[in-house]
């Protein structure tokens, strides 16, 4: 029961009010012709039900019809909030609603390779004897 409550509270922190304010550069990216054209194509009537994993941004969206796109799941990481803010800006510009209700927040897991590198940098190996040539 306690775990369900914390999961619900975690998902509550992912509404549109919690998204960061975009920089001018990010806003320009969100409003670019290519991004708006992609969003218009994704939100078309023919694509109702279509799901798209935004790999570089850490979330999955679905065309839920009637000019609505919903976020299905998001990784719990600050960069994913920026990605959601970018998507919201793009969709708002073409008058498509971006729904963040009922999304699943997945924990951020450090990729195995990065974790190994971090652990290796913390472990100091015993130094072998160092010899110098005296000239």
Global pTM reads 0.73
φ/ψ (deg, to 5) at 71: -90, 125
φ/ψ (deg, to 5) at 52: -135, 125
Q: What is the pLDDT along the chain (135 residues), one digit of tens a residue?
A: 444 544 455 555 777 878 999 999 999 999 999 999 999 999 999 999 999 999 889 999 999 999 999 999 999 999 999 999 999 999 999 999 999 998 999 988 877 766 565 566 665 555 555 555 555
Per-residue pLDDT, 125: 54
Per-residue pLDDT, 68: 96
Residues 84/100, Cβ–Cβ less than 8 Å? yes
């Amino acid at each position: 029961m306690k775990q369900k409550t914390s999961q619900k509270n975690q998902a509550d922190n992912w509404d549109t009010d919690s998204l960061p304010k975009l920089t001018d550069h990010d806003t320009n990216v969100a409003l670019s012709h290519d991004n708006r054209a992609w969003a218009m194509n994704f939100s078309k009537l023919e694509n109702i039900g279509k799901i798209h994993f935004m790999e570089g941004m850490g979330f999955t969206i679905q065309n839920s019809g009637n000019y609505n796109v919903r976020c299905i799941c998001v990784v719990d990481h600050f960069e994913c909030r920026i990605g959601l803010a970018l998507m919201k800006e793009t969709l708002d510009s073409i008058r498509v609603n971006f729904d963040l209700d009922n999304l699943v927040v997945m924990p951020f897991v450090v990729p195995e390779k990065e974790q190994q590198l971090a652990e290796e940098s913390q472990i100091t190996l015993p130094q072998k004897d160092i010899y110098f040539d005296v000239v």
